[in-house]
Amino acid sequence: MEEEYTRVINITIIGVISWGLIFIIIRRIFANYSFDFSTRIVSTLHATTAVALATLSIQDWSCPVCPIASTSSLRQMETLAFSLSYMIYDLICSHFDQVISIDNAVHHCVCILGFVAGLFYQKCGSEMVAALWITEISSPFLHLREILKEIGYRDTDLNLAADVCFATIFSLARMVGGPYLVYVTISADNPILIKAMALGLQLVSAFWFYKILKMMRYKFIKRTMSNQKST
């Protein structure tokens, strides 16, 4: 157990440093673009890798969240430590931007606390890896829609397509898969802190789902009005 904790700590520390170096390199390459542009590229790299690692750490494909309330495997703990390092980096990095989002800070704190709790207890690795998959599967499209705006594709069909893909994947993952995962986590014999984190993450997801619905409603109304004016 001590060796596993040491490995998790090493992955986390090295990960935080690595993410910082990757950001600095990307910031230099895309110096003509905004701070947010570079952070979104790094976030896309993390989301893509995290989904791949989460997929590879699934123990039972007939039941991706199984075994429930079991001891975490080493691969699951490494996957969680990988994403924990990114969350810590991103929380720190966000304070160097000119605009600090309270919503984003709360989201990161909830995620970090959840990762730490799961790694400390070394339990419910299957549920936490599934939660990681659910929360990150829509992230590349979230960042793509903003990247497209900055490179000159704002209010285009391509940008709208990215918006629709993000909203659809987010809604299915967070509001269909999410509640099921919360139910499984809460009903199983998991530590109370893990259950609280699962419920907290779902509440955060519901809040973002509400904001996404408002955003998509605005997008379609704006597109409809633009088409009416052009005709």
Digit-coded pLDDT (tens) for 77-117: 999 999 999 999 998 888 887 666 676 777 778 788 888 88
CB 156 within 8 A of CB 38: no
Distance between CA 141 and CA 224 in Å, rounded? 23
The model carries a pTM of: 0.87
The predicted pLDDT at position 231 comes to 57
Give exposure, 175-184, as e/b (b: 16+ Cβ within 10 Å). eebbeebbeb
Q: Indicate the Cα dihedral angle 123, 129, 131, 134, nearest 10°.
A: -170
> How does DSSP assign 9-47, residue by residue?
HHHHHHHHHHHHHHHHHHHHHTTTS-HHHHHHHHHHHHH
Where is mean pLDDT largest: 53-62, 164-173, 205-214? 164-173
User: Which residues have CB under 8 Å from 28's CB, separation 6+?
Assistant: none
- Helices (H), strands (E): how many in the chain? 9, 0
* 164: confidence class by pLDDT, cuts 50, 70, 90: very high
